[in-house]
Each structure stands twice: as structure tokens, then as C-alpha cells.
Amino acid sequence: MACRYTLAMQNRSFAALLFGLLISVLAVDAASTATRRPNIVFIICDDLGYGDIHCLAPKTSKIATPCADRLASEGVIFTDAHSGSSVCSPTRYGIMTGRYSWRTRLQKGVVTGYAPSLIAKDRPTVASFLKANGYHTAAIGKWHLDFQYLDPKTDEPYKQKDHKSPPIGARIPDGPIHRGFDYYHGFHHARNMEAVIENDRVIEHDGVINMLPRLTRKSVEYIESRKGKKEPFFLYLPLGSPHTPIVPSPAWQGKSPLGKYGDFVMETDAVVGAVSDALERIDATDNTLVIFTSDNGCSKAAGIDALKKQGHLVSAHLRGSKADIWDGGHRIPFIARWPGRITPGSTSDQLICLLDLFATAAEITGQNMPTGAAEDSVSFLPALLAKPIISTRNGVIHHSVSGHFAYRQGNWKLALARGSGGWSSPKENQVPADAPRAQLYDMATDPGETKNLYTSKPDIVERLLSRLKSDILRGRSTKGFPSTNDVAEIVLWKSGEKATGKPVQANKKKKNKEQKNSN
């Protein structure tokens, strides 16, 4: 009896020991899982063309980009990645919200500041989502999504017509730190680049040539400040380069045989190296997902024709450039590194969009996206891991500076424009009168968009057009309950007949100003 009792006690003790060990293992595993949540560093350049990165177009890129090339050798290159628009503000709205910007008041062009934020106060952002899930969040660089500047004495908003540059001391009530970021340092957009902002204040005026070195320095400082911290971090690093003003700092002047633009691209590339070195110093490389990309194609302000004469093609094999509905306007460099998860030196031809950052962050953290958020976002995490993306989205919607739509599904691309829809020739008013009212291309066999199949493939045209209309009217392009656009009417056809709603009669002076600021 006693022996049996003793044996039973021993068995129970052994079982308890095993249970305790199991609990300990699970607890350690849970803790390690929490610590394994990767830091996320999202570096987005401004007006960097697909063909500007040497490893993406080795035959036609004449600019040395060793840091991006190294990142690619350590990670994955996406050959069919797209921005949400072929100009700046709309793309940045999509990155932050996982939603197309044409669902808001921004139907074309860009914003110019001195106005309430384009991101509604109650709309979740990728930053607020990650912050709510234990991340420290920082934005360092160009915002370009509107915010107000308030007089610190009266709290009255300054007006753009009265201030070429926001005054030092101006307070910002609806900037990045009010949209999910713990820390912000940067500027609004190129024409106000000298006004340096930290958190919610304009803290100084500085020469625009100093901005890129400043952003590099601040990014490194931020990464180093996270050393030893338990919480992971999200660093959103929207550079203002190589957008105009093209101002390489003295240390980089004359580095490229292509002149100032080449110098500026090289200095921009060096930011990738500085960030990588900082991650290495704090022993965070292995647990950090680094993404390097651009907001749209290269701008004509870079001197595209002159660069071409020197053998450098800013859009590589693609047609068009910034502002256009053709792929040169919105197909972008996209390189990702995540040691131990992404296969080094790999390539993916899966179709992705910058709007997909939100859903990807949700899947990485194992959390559901907030209700009513990221209506157009699909996770590209599977593609990072060399697996097929399982998408509830029929296709990706493209948008040009003038608001022209295009729809991409598989290899097919339907563009509801007669010309570039942007700044390249032929523009809409330069297309012959007897030209088709839209364009259809097989991107698998014709990535340069040279053979318009619109009139010969009516069934495909109708299918893509129907899905585009549905994605617009449902307020979302992914599976889920229908959502609501911020505006009642969205003009589907910018050239020709109206399919959804009435056209907005744009003020000509305002239109010219928007285009000028976009450039």
C-alpha cells in the first residue's frame, strides 16, 4: 500500500514535473515568439525609377547602387511591384492606410500642405496598428499627406498664401504623431523642405541640401536608440530624394558620370548602407525586415532624355515615367531582406502593390486587421517566403497624375486612357482622333506596352472593366463587407464618356499648380 502510494506520488510528481517543464517550454516559446516579431524598416525613395537600380537593369543602368545591390543579394527582388499611384501623395496615403487614395478627396494630383490631414483622424494606419500591437513607431522624412500649421500664440491656422515657408514654432495638430507614430522628424514636401519638423513643431529652417544627410543621420540615431529595447520597432523612412531639388551634398558631387541626378541617386543608395550598418551595430540585422522601394517612377525633371543619350534608361524596359498610367509611372524597385526567412539572391514575379504593407504587417504579427481598415490591402508575406500569395483581390488598380485608371489582373492590363494619362507623349490631347478610347496590353509578352489589343480582345476588356467598376463602387477591392468611399462620385473615364458619376470641373489655375508641385 505504502509502496503503491509512494509510487503513485512519484508518478504524480513526475507528471507534475513534466507538466511544469511543458509549461516552461511553452512560456519560453511564447516569449521567444514575441521577441521574434521582426523590426520593420520601410525605406521609400522619391521618384526613383525601376531602371535606376543597377541590379534591376544591369544592361541599361549606368548608376552605381552597391548598397541596394547588396540588399538584393541578401534578399529578394520583386519584378512586378507597383505603387498605388504614379505620383507622390496618393501612394503615401495607400502605404499608410492600405486603401486607394482616389477613395478620398484626392482624385488627381498631389496635396500641398496647409490643410487638414488627408488621413481621417479615426482611420487606422499601419503605424497605429503596429503601435497597438507592441511596436515603437517612427517616421523620418517626407510626409506629403497634408497637415495644418497653427500659430503657437493664437492656435489659428497659417495660410499658404501668407507664408512661403511654415514659420519656426508653428504647431502641427494632425501630423504623423497624430496618425500612429511615436516619433517624427522630417518635412512636408519638396517645396517646403527647408522647414524642419520634429514631432508636432517646426523646429528650424535649414538648407535643402542638408535634408538627405539629416534624414540619414536621424535614421541611424533612431535605430541605435533601440538597442537593448524589448519592443520591436517600425521605422518608416520616406526619403525626399532623388526628387527635385536635385541637391547631392558636397561629399557626393561628381561621383557619377551622369551628373547631379546620378550623384543624388548614389547618395540615396548610401542610406540603405547606413541603415544596414546601424542594424548590424545593435545586433538587429537577423530580426529585421528591410524593404527598399520608391513611390513612383522617375520624374522628367531628372533629365530623362539626356540620361538616355548616356545609355541610362530610368524605366529600364518599361514605357513611360512618373505621372503616367504606363508601367514606367508606377512599377517600382522593391527589394526585401529578412535573414532566415527570405532566400538570399531570390527573385519574385508575383504582382504586389505598396498598399499591401498594412495586411503584410498584420500577418507578420499574427493579428487581425482592424474593422473598416485597409480595404485594398493583401499580404505579400507568402511571396517573401517564396510561396504563392492567396489573394481575395481580383486585381491591382493603377492611377495616374490626372486621375486616369488602369486595371491589372494576371498578365492583362486595361488602361482607361488614350495616351499616357500623364506627362509623357502622347498626352491625351495628342492622341489621333481615330485612336482607340482605351488600351489593353498583355504584360507577359509586351511589358513595354507597344501593342494595343483593346479592339481585338473585347471579352477581356469587358471582364476587366466590370471588375474595376465593382472594386470602385464596393468601397473595397478585397473580400469583406462593402465599404464606403469618402466621395459620392468617382469619374471612371477621364477621357471620353463618364461611367460613374459626374466629372469635377477642375480650376485650370489649380490644375497647373498641382502639376507643378508634383514635379
- 348 inside domain: yes
Is the residue at 2 inside a domain? no
Q: Is residue 18 situated within a structural domain? A: no
Residue 484 domain boundaries: 396-518
Q: Mean of the pLDDT values across residues 121-136?
A: 98
pLDDT band at 495 (very low <50, low <70, confident <90, very high): confident
Q: How far apart are CA 305 and CA 397, in angstroms?
A: 29
As a whole number, mean pLDDT of residues 98-125 equals 98
pLDDT for 496 equals 61
CATH no. for residue 58? Answer: 3.40.720.10
> What's the pLDDT tens digit per position in 177-213?
999 999 999 999 999 999 999 999 999 999 999 999 9
Residues 293 and 313 in one domain: yes
Which amino acid is present at 60? T
**Same domain (yes/no): 365, 287:** yes
**Same domain assignment for residues 434 and 348:** no
The string over 30-49, giving b where at least 16 C-beta atoms fall within 10 Å of a residue's C-beta and e elsewhere, is eeeeeeebbbbbbbbbbbbb
- On the question of pLDDT at 1 being above 80, the answer is no
* pTM score of the predicted model: 0.90
Mean pLDDT (the chain) is 91
In this prediction, residues 440-459 reach a mean pLDDT of 98
Residue 27's pLDDT is 37
Same-domain check for residues 268 and 227: yes
467 lies in the same domain as 319: no
- Residues 295-306: what's their mean pLDDT? 98
Residues 366 and 239 in one domain: yes
Same domain, 376 and 416: no
Q: What is the pLDDT of residues 31-55, one digit of tens each?
A: 333 447 999 999 999 999 999 999 9
Indicate if 123 and 164 belong to the same structural domain: yes
Say yes or no to pLDDT of 503 above 70: no
Count of other CB atoms within 10 angstroms of residue 382: 17
**Would 17 be classed as within a structural domain?**
no
Please name which of 294, 293, 297, 351 lies closest in space to residue 328, comparing C-alpha atoms.
Answer: 297
Buried b or exposed e, range 411-423, using 16+ CB within 10 angstroms: ebbbbbbbbbbbb
- Identify the pLDDT of residue 146: 98
Question: Is residue 218 domain-shared with residue 70, that is, in the same domain?
Answer: yes
Q: How many domains does the chain have?
A: 2
Position 23 scores a pLDDT of: 36
Pair (297, 437) in one structural domain: no
pLDDT tens track for 232-258: 999 999 999 999 999 999 999 999 999
% of the chain with per-residue pLDDT over 90: 88
Q: Which residues are CB-neighbours of 46 under 8 A, at least 6 positions away?
A: 88, 142, 190, 238, 239, 240, 241, 242, 243, 294, 295
Residue 6 has pLDDT above 70, yes or no: no
Is 421 found in the same domain as 314? no
Same domain (yes/no): 363, 402 = no
